[in-house]
Structure 1
Amino acid sequence: MVLCALFAAVVAALGVVPPIPIGFLPVPITAQTLGVMLAGAILGPRLGFLALALFVLLVAIGLPVLPGGRGGLGVLMGPTGGFILSWPVGAFAVGWLARRMTAGTRPLPLFVCCALGGIGAVYAGGIAWLWLVSGLPLEKAAMGTLAFVPGDLIKAAAAAAVAATVRRVRPMPV
């Protein structure tokens, strides 16, 4: 449980990194999805899920752990809340894929796990939520997220490199 709390704190700390605004979208690029990928790749599916579920709970009770000091149910129920609500699933997916691919300490397979799980699972939930809450056509909701893909791929590469190094010292828990 200590590791879950530690990774929830890591994700909160990544929220302090100044977001990068995208001029044509109201949502900036943040570093917190890096924490989602790290939690799954280092802690494994179960503990990664629990770490991010704890983080989402902290957001829900109103702690200012998102960029700009945001938090609360209003954020989670808003148009982009589905992305945050999908973070535990993304961490689980990264950890599950890393186990199934027996990624070990190799950065390239870990990158694939981070990209498929950390980006794919989070985008699937986030886009579906955005579509339901905002009333945007599904295609527009999906197209709006394309601006985030390059940055998320960079975060996936960073998470894979860090996770490979950490996993050399500390194997993934069961």
Structure 2
Amino acid sequence: MTSEHHTETRAQRIAMVALFAALLAAFGMIPKIDLPLGVPITAQTTGVMLAGCMLGARMGFQAMVLFLAAVALGLPLLSGGRGGMGVFFLPSAGYLIAYPMAAAVAGMVMRALAGKHSSPARLAACAFAASVAGGIVVVHAFGVLGLMLLAKLSFVQAAVGTLVFVPGDLVKCALVALIVHTVARGLPDWRFGGRRL
């Protein structure tokens, strides 16, 4: 690999990380639905799942860290125009902090399940499973911990409270699967989950 090709590849990776961080911000433009639990329903976890499935564990993780760093600096990128360090001390903070790990897990599962020559339908099924693992299991595990620590709920209260998000999250998983299927048909060489071709 030449130095020029290596530089180009690195530049492309940086661009993809920045693109998916921006995509997550775009999902934040969709209005949130506030719940008494103190955790809003937002579309942004769709971007988390998509980053893991499309970019893979490492780049998906990096995209989420970049996004959260921008939020911490005060940019109003969260749904409802929220930003700043204060959002990391709200009852919803656990869900938010989970984003990098959720994208990483989704990427790892996607890579493990997707073969080198998988059909678009198989890749869509892999994306759904990866989205459930990262976007539901990981995000809700962190979310429950956040509710216990910051909202002072018991484990049972937090676990039951977070169940309200699951039906909508399953719809998001299906949407990610549909997007992956569409991309796989149009761009068959895309390295879903960072898999090797």
TM-score range, shorter chain: over 0.9
**Are 2:20 and 1:15 aligned?**
no
* Cα offset, 1:165, TM superposition: 2.4
Residue 123 of structure 1 corresponds to: 140
Instruction: With the length of structure 2 as denominator, give the TM-score of the two structures.
Output: 0.82
Distance 1:151 1:137 in 2: 24
CA contact (8 A) 2:143 2:162 kept: no
Distance 2:46 2:60 in 1: 13
Residue 101 of structure 1 corresponds to: 113
Superposed CA deviations along residues 43-82 of structure 1, whole A, max 9, x for unmatched, are 0110000001111111111110011110111101221111
Say which of 131, 145, 153 aligns to 2:170.
153
Q: Which deviates further from its counterpart, 62-71 or 125-134? A: 125-134
Residue 27 of structure 1 corresponds to: 39
Equivalent runs, 1:1-174 vs 2, <5 Å: 1-22=14-35, 24-102=36-114, 104=118, 105=120, 106=122, 107-168=124-185, 169=187, 170-172=190-192, 173=194
* Cα offset, 1:14, TM superposition: 0.4
Instruction: With the length of structure 1 as denominator, give the TM-score of the two structures.
Output: 0.93
Distance 2:109 2:29 in 1: 29
Q: Percent of pairs identical after alignment?
A: 46
Distance 2:33 2:146 in 1: 23
CA contact (8 A) 1:41 1:160 kept: no
* Cα offset, 1:25, TM superposition: 3.8
CA contact (8 A) 2:102 2:134 kept: yes
CA contact (8 A) 2:92 2:146 kept: yes
* Cα offset, 1:109, TM superposition: 2.3
Q: What RMSD over aligned residues (CA atoms) do the two structures have, in Å?
A: 1.5
CA contact (8 A) 2:39 2:91 kept: no
Unaligned runs of 5+ in 1: none
Superposed CA deviations along residues 27-51 of structure 1, whole A, max 9, x for unmatched, are 3311100000000000011000000
The size of the alignment, in residue pairs, is: 173
* Cα offset, 1:164, TM superposition: 2.7
Which protein has the larger Cα radius of gyration, Structure 1 or Structure 2?
2
Distance 2:149 2:30 in 1: 30
Distance 2:48 2:100 in 1: 7
* Cα offset, 1:84, TM superposition: 0.6
* Cα offset, 1:113, TM superposition: 1.1
